[in-house]
Structure 1
Amino acid sequence: MRRPGSWSSVRYGRWDGTQEIEVDVSEIFDEIADALLYHGDPMSALRELMNRGMRTKDGGDILGLKEVLERLKQRRSELFGKYDPSGKASEIDNAIRSILESERRALEEYLEAASNSKDAPRIAQAEELYLNDQLTLDSLGPSIASKIQSLGNYDFLSPTAKRDFDDLRESLEREFVEGFFESAKNSLSTMTPEDLENFREMIGALNSLIEAHNANEDTSEAFEAFMDRYGGSFPPGIANTQELLDHLLTQMAAASLAFGAMSQEQQMELANLAQNVNGDLDLSWAISQLMRSLSPMMDSMRFDPRSFRGSDPMSIGQAGQVLDELSQLDSIESYLRSIGTPGDLSRLDFDQISELLGEKEASSLRRLSELTKQLEDAGLIGMSDERLTLSAGGLRAIGQKMLQEVFDDLDASRLGGHDLKRRGVGVDKDFETKPYEFGDPLNLSLGKTLANTIVRQRGGLPLKVEVEDFEIETTEAMVSASTVLCLDLSLSMPLRDNFLAAKKVAVALSTLISTAYPKDYLAIVGFSEVAHVIKPMDLPSVSWDYVYGTNMEDALRQSRTLLRRRSGRKQIILVTDGEPTAHILENGEPFFSYPPARETILATLSEVNRCTKAGITINSFVLDATDYLVDFMNQVAKINRGKVFYSDPSDLGKYVLVDFMAQRTS
């Protein structure tokens, strides 16, 4: 707690990945909005966000699973690129070579000194010793184990060679003992006789336990007794003989990795080496017997020293750490690739991930695990029939997001690019103004708007008008309108990347009418092979139809039926990317043909004529128009006298909403 009268200090600095990322729930919702509309499923949208991550408004990065998996791959590559499993064996070979060179020099110097003495008996003795010892040194076996065994029985002439050999054997002794048993952190030579005897008994008891386990005997009581007495030599949490065996196999794998022992024959040589690195014969035999028992089980470890390509030699302890880290990385990767929801990430050990990969990766996964709960707590999504769905609040939020996106992209040049009459939305102006809100017609009061800019800027030129400065003129009365939005849901829409843009328009238009013109009527008709009415509340979850066919005739017919008893201005807004390829036959069945059949064209134009006679204006917004489609839409416009707009998907929203307001105010 801060002392009374003291001031808290705040330091600012570049975000480096270690700070905790604070993410507003609105940021999360904005990030999934497009995916939510495209897939129509909150969980699919959250999975997509989980995989790609996001950048927060304050400049921080929340890494996605794709980046975290890449970081796992890099860390694994770093480990493989650092160490050389054959390095330890090479290190021992070089040490033995140096010992032999020291001993041979001593023998030569001894023989030379005897020769210089002119003492015949001394010379004879020196020559015999020289020849015998050189023969012994030349006859050392090819393996490290055989060399250690032979040199252990050899009477060194060189004190330096003797000291270096004793140091080498002691270091190897420490490698084996410390690598397998956590309680033995010092050389056995420093143990008291009592400690040494206890250590012998432990390895003997361990060998007996493994032998009984391999014979399929019940070892539960023997295991409990063993761990009660020797449990301090092993990591905590080992619960049974099999888990103890798994731990020992990992240590055996580490020993094999450290000495580059890939085959069982090499591992047996490793056991021979363990047997010859300590003067205590009983203990050496027990350790080598343990390694011999473990060696046949090593096939299941599935590691290959050839994966390593570095230059640093490894001790058994280092090899154990490397294998443990690689195992953890594999386990994390396997889990990350199997998860289905952000909530599944909560089962991860974030402290472990921080230690293995870094705090940025751990913090990102922690934040991703909280995505669903944050949106649920904010009332934007919820569970319905064991399925994640948008709530009423989420529906409003997605609509406002799409509407704001369209209006944010509107500018004077866009508005001026259309033949629009700027008369306001009422019969007469009442000469009052109000701050502009999304959904309001842009009847700007220029004087009030510029005055707001000057106040906000506190003077100065040039004036930079912001949306918050907009002031619009209000009107006395509102003209009601009835609109049906016909939305093409045929398979060509997603295949040509037009589906998301069209769906955004539908959501934005629905939100605009429900918020700015609540007395207006809006219906939505989706069409592909056939047409069907879509409730506005179901719009975010609507997906394309996995069928071929663009049935404009059925869409226009159902729209005309919906508008039959509606008042005010009646219009159909048609959004499509294809010519009519389907219509309804007299028996009620859909007919499909591509290229479009003549009867389909005639049936569609006949419905256009019926809509025209019913006083319904058809304004069409066409994406990716072909010459054939342009010719057809020109016929529609000629019959109905509505407008046809040929738009890019990125401009579709602006075209539809600007034209809608223009039609409403004309």
Structure 2
Amino acid sequence: MTAADRYSYGPYHEGPDPLAPPLDLREALSEIGREVMEGSSPRSALEELLRRGTSGMPGLEELTRRLWERRAEISRSHRLDGTLQQVRELLDRALEAERRALFPDPSDDARFAEMQLDALPSSTAGAVNELGEYPWRSETGRENYQKIRDLLGEELLESRFQGMKQALQSATPHDVERVRRMMSDLNDLLAAHARGADTEEQFAEFMDEHGEFFPENPRDTEELIDTLAARAAAAQRMMNSMSAQQQAELNELVGQAFGDPRIAQQIAELDANLRALRPGQDWESARRFRGQDPLGMGEAVEAMQDLGELDELAAQLAQSYPGARLEDIDLEMLERQLGVDARMDAARLAELERELRRQGLFERAPDGSLRLTPKALRRLGEVALRDIVGKLRSRKGQRETALAGAAGEPTGASRPWQFGDTEPWDVSRTVRNAVLRSASTGSPSVTLDVADVEIAETEQRSRAAVALCVDTSWSMVQDGRWVPMKRTALALQHLISTRFRSDALELITFGRHAATVDIAELTGLEPVWEQGTNLHHALLLADRHLRRHPDAVPVVLVVTDGEPTAHLESDGTAYFNWPPDRRTLAVTVAQVDSLARSGASVSVFMLGEEPRLAAFVDLVARRSGGRVVAPDLDGLGAAVVSDYLRGRRR
């Protein structure tokens, strides 16, 4: 056997595409982070992501749109009177053939027959029933009338048993009797099950004898009932969707199914049994069909089942019930209605949801709500910082100074000891030097000499205490500055936690009052309609943070879009006034002066172009030795990070 004989190649049909690109969790997390920073809860943000999808993956909204298009196509393309129309056409052909046969006959019997035909009811059902005992002279007329009975039987059974129409084409009386006997046994089985009897053995006997009529191959009585009830309910919804005249005609016609009224009686008994066993099925609703393509009873029931599945899928895709998960979507049903592409799209969305949860990006808060984990916040910070670094490509320069000193951190290098050095010894290299020197002199023992001593070089790193004060008043939300402000804080926090770990960062929000928050709280902070810009309180908290780190370079960064309109009174209450009160301005400037005396400069990032705001922040910068930056929203993060790096070099 050659290697070529061992393998065969062809299209891939089962499961997800093995060559599909991996899920892009970075894009998904970025979208979720943006929603959270705009004020959505993490759960809502995740639901919104799944609803919209990503750039390479359709979301639930797109799948739902396809569902409604399919639903509209069914209802706008079809109408439900196909069986009635076919019966009418066969009846007209039968009557025409019979009249042609009677016309040349001069006998009174022929004239009487013609009178019978002329006196037939105008309704299709009434005429068909009147002709039940009519002695046809035309063979064509008799054949067409028998076709009406066969058609009604096939359509009636197809409306309750899928595939029955094809199985009963050209049915003989023996075939009809087999179907009638199957239905009688079926109703006996359902009646016994309804009484609470153990039907396991009866079901097995029934399937052994009549299993050919059930291609679904149900495993037990309950599964058989589920299958039959779904189709019977669809048949009832089809009847509900017809006009009252059409319903009356069809109900009257079914008694002529195969010319055996017992078939219709068994169907009626079957429907009653199924309705009692499955009252939760939709037996009452109706649909509106406005198309031109007539459907037979069997086709109409198929259309009704399709519409029922589309409604069920729409509810699954809406995910609006408690505990909803994308795993709840019936993928086989979705493929049946929208094709394999829709199934794969839904499977990919479910995989995305699973991966976001499995990767530990969400966690349960003590109150039961969903929130972003520190891992997710780190990833958001990494993305935000990467965007900012891209805007800082033109900014170069070292932020650290390398000095040998006892207070520094080891660099991994060493050098020979010199008189006056106080750094710790590099013991391994000192011993190695002693061994090599002793061996080179032929000494039988190892002795330590001053020339052998090496000391570990250290690097003196500057350390900063950073207070980032961000304005959270309503104007920040109203003017679209809310998310850029949060992304800036995320980027700065990520930079400090990964690159400058010895720095101490304090995040301070200020509206009517100021408060210290961690990055998770700031990221999930919801906008609140609140008047007041209490920069005074924020600077008080910044000063407290700086005093806790007296050995660090003090850096105060303020992001705001309005001049101070509130300050903190001695009793802890916030005083607010618009336009700004002179006392508010005075105590705020006094706090700026206090920070300046302790060596801290205040850099203000001014969002907006109000002349009064510009004048105030200019005053703050001059009195504290800081500076004023007026970035656009895209450049806010770069401006803040750049100023932080500049400040910690002092």
What range is the shorter-chain TM-score in?
A: 0.7 to 0.9
- Residue 448 of structure 2 corresponds to residue 481 of structure 1: no
Instruction: Give me the whole-angstrom Cα distance separating, in 2, the residues matched to 1:244 and 1:519.
Output: 68
State how many pairs are aligned. Answer: 581
CA distance in 1, matches of 2:622, 2:96: 104
Q: Which residue of 2 aligns with 1:301?
A: 283
Letter in 1 for 2:474: L
Equivalent residue number for residue 473 of structure 2: 490
Q: Secondary structure at the match of 1:32?
A: helix
Q: 1:643 to 1:238 in 2, by over 3 A?
A: farther
1:139 Cα deviation (Å)? 1.7
| Residue 329, structure 1, aligned to residue 324, structure 2 | no
**Which residue of structure 1 aligns with residue 442 of structure 2?**
none
Are residue 656 (structure 1) and residue 637 (structure 2) matched? no
In the other structure, the counterpart of 2:385 is 403
User: Is the alpha carbon distance of 1:135 and 1:226 closer, same or farther for their aligned partners in structure 2, counting shifts above 3 Å?
Assistant: farther
Using the alignment, how far apart are the partners of 1:4 and 1:182 within structure 2?
45
Structure 1 residues 324-346: Cα deviation after superposition (integer angstroms, max 9, x where no partner): 12111111212332347997111
CA separation in 1, counterparts of 2:251 and 2:202?
24
Which digits, 9 at most, give the CA deviation of each residue in 1:81-137, with x for residues without a partner?
Answer: 2221133323332332233333333434x15xxxxxxxxxxx4x1xx3453233222
Structure 1 residues 372 and 199: CA distance shift in structure 2, 3 A? closer
Q: 1:183 to 1:310 in 2, by over 3 A?
A: closer
- In structure 1, what is the Cα distance between the partners aligned to 2:529 and 2:204? 66
Amino acid at match of 2:53: G
User: What are the Cα deviations for residues 293-312 of structure 1, in whole angstroms up to 9, with x where unaligned?
Assistant: 9999999634435x212222
> Partner of 2:416 in structure 1?
none
Q: 2:74 aligned with 1:100, yes or no?
A: no
Higher deviation after alignment, 232-241 or 331-340: 232-241
Report the 3-state secondary structure (helix = DSSP H, G, I; strand = E; otherwise coil) of the residue aligned with 1:629. helix
Query: Which of the numbers 542, 555, 558 marks the counterpart of 2:541?
Result: 558
Q: Secondary structure at the match of 1:308?
A: coil
> 1:520 and 1:137, CA in 2 relative to 1: closer, same or farther beyond 3 A?
same
Q: Is this contact kept in 2: 1:275–1:288, CA < 8 A?
A: no
Cα 1:387–1:498, aligned 2, differ >3 Å: closer, same or farther?
Answer: same
Q: Does the 8 A contact of 1:148 with 1:277 survive in 2?
A: no
The answer to whether the 8 Å contact 2:468/2:506 transfers is yes
CA offsets per residue over residues 398-425 of structure 1, 9 Å max, x none?
222111011124454xx5xxxxxx6643
Tell me what 2:419 maps to.
Answer: none
Match of 2:436 in 1: none
In the aligned structure 2, how far is the partner of 1:604 from the partner of 1:34? 33
> Which amino acid in structure 2 is aligned with residue 133 of structure 1?
A
Distance in 2 separating the partners of 1:94 and 1:18 = 54
- Contact 2:233–2:282, Cα closer than 8 Å, also in 1: no
In structure 2, the residue matched to 1:371 is 352
Aligned runs of 1:158-557 on 2, under 5 Å? 158-182=138-162, 184-185=164-165, 186-187=167-168, 190-191=171-172, 193=174, 196-204=176-184, 219-221=195-197, 227=203, 230=206, 232=211, 233=213, 236=218, 239=222, 246-247=229-230, 249-250=232-233, 252-253=235-236, 256=239, 261-263=242-244, 266-283=246-263, 285-287=265-267, 301-305=283-287, 307-339=288-320, 344-383=325-364, 385=366, 386-412=368-394, 424-426=398-400, 478-536=461-519, 538-545=521-528, 547-557=530-540
Is 1:47 the equivalent of 2:28? no
Residues 38 and 5 of structure 1, relative CA distance in 2, 3 Å threshold: farther
Q: Distance in 2 between matches of 1:171 and 1:140?
A: 21
Q: Which residue identity is paired with 1:323?
A: M
Distance 2:541 2:267 in 1: 86
Greater Cα shift, 45-54 or 391-400: 391-400
Query: Counterparts of 1:114-193 in structure 2 under 5 Å?
Result: 123=106, 125=107, 128-182=108-162, 184-185=164-165, 186-187=167-168, 190-191=171-172, 193=174
Alpha-carbon distance change, 294 to 38 in structure 1, aligned in 2, over 3 angstroms = closer
**TM-score (norm. length: structure 1):** 0.76
Larger mean Cα displacement after TM superposition, 568-577 or 276-285: 276-285
Compute the RMSD of aligned alpha carbons. Answer: 4.1
What is the DSSP-based 3-state SS (H/G/I as helix, E as strand, rest coil) of the residue aligned with 1:181?
coil
Distance 1:399-1:238 versus aligned 2 partners, 3 A rule: same
| Structure-2 change in CA distance of 1:494 and 1:618 (3 Å) | same
- How far is the alpha carbon of 1:183 from its aligned partner? 8.0
Give 1:162 shift.
Answer: 2.5
* Offset of residue 279 of structure 1: 2.8
What amino acid is aligned across from residue 221 of structure 1 in structure 2?
A
Q: What amino acid sits opposite 1:480 in the alignment?
A: R
Question: Unaligned 5+ residue runs, structure 1?
Answer: 56-60, 112-122, 416-421, 431-474
395-404 vs 502-511, greater mean Cα deviation: 395-404
Matches within 5 A, 1:41-80: 42-55=42-55, 61-80=56-75
Matched with 1:456 is none
Counterpart in the other structure of 1:626: 610
Q: 1:167 to 1:322 in 2, by over 3 A?
A: same
Hey, what's the Cα distance between the residues in 2 that align with 1:145 and 1:273? 5
Query: C-alpha distance in 2, partners of 1:201/1:544?
Result: 71
Distance, in Å, in 1 between the alignment partners of 2:29 and 2:631 is 28
Q: In 2, distance between residues paired with 1:370 and 1:295?
A: 39
**SS of residue matched to 1:517:** coil
**The one of 627, 639, 649 aligned to 2:623:** 639
Structure 1's 556 and 287: CA in aligned 2 closer, same or farther, altered over 3 A? closer
1:592 paired residue number: 576
Distance, in Å, in 1 between the alignment partners of 2:498 and 2:273 is: 78
CA displacement at 1:525 relative to structure 2:
1.1
Worse overlay, 277-286 or 604-613: 277-286
In structure 2, list runs of 5 or more residues that go unmatched: 405-457
Helix, strand or coil at the partner of 1:276: helix
One-letter code of the match for 1:647? Answer: P
- 3-state SS of paired residue (1:525): strand
Cα drift, residue 67 of structure 1: 1.3
Q: Is the 8 A contact 1:209 1:219 kept in 2?
A: no
Question: Could you tell me how far apart the structure 2 residues matched to 1:251 and 1:36 are?
Answer: 44
* TM-score relative to the length of structure 2: 0.77
User: Does residue 17 of structure 2 align to residue 34 of structure 1?
Assistant: no
Deviations 1:481-535, CA, capped at 9 Å, x for gaps: 3321001122332232211100111111122223333333322111112111223
1:562 and 1:292 map into 2 onto residues whose CA distance is 78
Partner of 1:118: none
CA distance in 2, matches of 1:295, 1:159: 42
Report the Cα offset of residue 537 of structure 1: 6.1
Q: Is the 8 A contact 2:236 2:284 kept in 1?
A: no
